[in-house]
Amino acid sequence: MSDHTVSSSSSFQRPSGRTPGQLREVSLELGYTRYAEGSVLIRQGHTHVLCNASVLDQVPPFLKGQGSGWVTAEYGMLPRSTHTRSSREAARGKQSGRTQEIQRLIGRSLRAVFDLDTLGERTIQIDCDVLQADGGTRCASITGAWVAAALAVRGLVDNGVLARSPLLDHVAAVSVGLYQQHPVLDLDYVEDSGCGADINVVMTGAGQFVELQGTAEGQNFGRTDLNRALDLAEQGITQLVAMQKQALEQ
């Protein structure tokens, strides 16, 4: 991958040494596991998420018999994906509020670019499992999940199950933060911990918002801050969408 840098005149220094608008190194490894209809390992810096898409011949009860399909996601972190070990959700007996929040977000983001009628009465079930976490796992999950879903969809079209793709557009996500008042793109864990505000942006290939989740963390922020941060996010997502395209073309 050549150059994800966005030029910046600022003398201010990010902990990661990246320029404010610079993404981490991103790679998309297709076919990482053998059995899923679509399997992608996305690496964004030290954040590694395995995204598997399964095609299931069933839909949730509320959709039965309506000819429409469904796209949904589950998310998990391996206990030792992080700097210190977290307890295993399966052993604790429930998913945390954070986990549920993230998997609902991934599902909504994917559905925003799916024509569920064209998909027909089947479910694309996405599993995003974080093997290694260095910040930005929810955004990396969305970017990777889209590629896994696209692979699964391609299989359905290639096998003649679907006459045409139900995918309407790309979707990708990135975080932006305010670090010492400066907007910065694609926070790693250290930067995230030090940021006054954290904004996760999910956009389509056409540059429309799908989701926008901004949280002040220690420092509330104004309209100007928001606008500068969204400018960076748009640039980052444009790059991520380009990488998704490139990965699928190989």
Which residues contact its own copies (rule: CB under 8 A)?
33-36, 39, 46, 48, 50, 52, 54, 56, 74, 76, 78-85, 88-91, 93-95, 97-101, 103-104, 108, 112, 125, 127, 129, 131-132, 197, 199, 204, 206-216, 220-223, 226, 230
CB of 226 to its own copies, least distance (A): 7
CB of 11 to its own copies, least distance (A): 26
Question: Using an 8 Å Cβ cutoff, are 20 and 185 in contact?
Answer: yes
* CA atoms of 28 and 63, how far apart (whole Å): 33
Q: What single-letter amino acid sits at 44?
A: Q
Name which of 11 and 224 has its Cβ closer to its own copies.
224
Name which of 2 and 222 has its Cβ closer to its own copies.
222
CB of 158 to its own copies, least distance (A): 19
CB of 2 to its own copies, least distance (A): 25
Question: Using an 8 Å Cβ cutoff, are 69 and 124 in contact?
Answer: yes
Name which of 226 and 242 has its Cβ closer to its own copies.
226
* CA atoms of 208 and 212, how far apart (whole Å): 11
* CA atoms of 75 and 129, how far apart (whole Å): 6
Identify the CA nearest to 114 among candidates 139, 83, 146.
146
| Calculated CA dihedral for residues 148, 5, 230, 98, nearest 10 degrees | 50
Name which of 81 and 239 has its Cβ closer to its own copies.
81
Name which of 11 and 84 has its Cβ closer to its own copies.
84
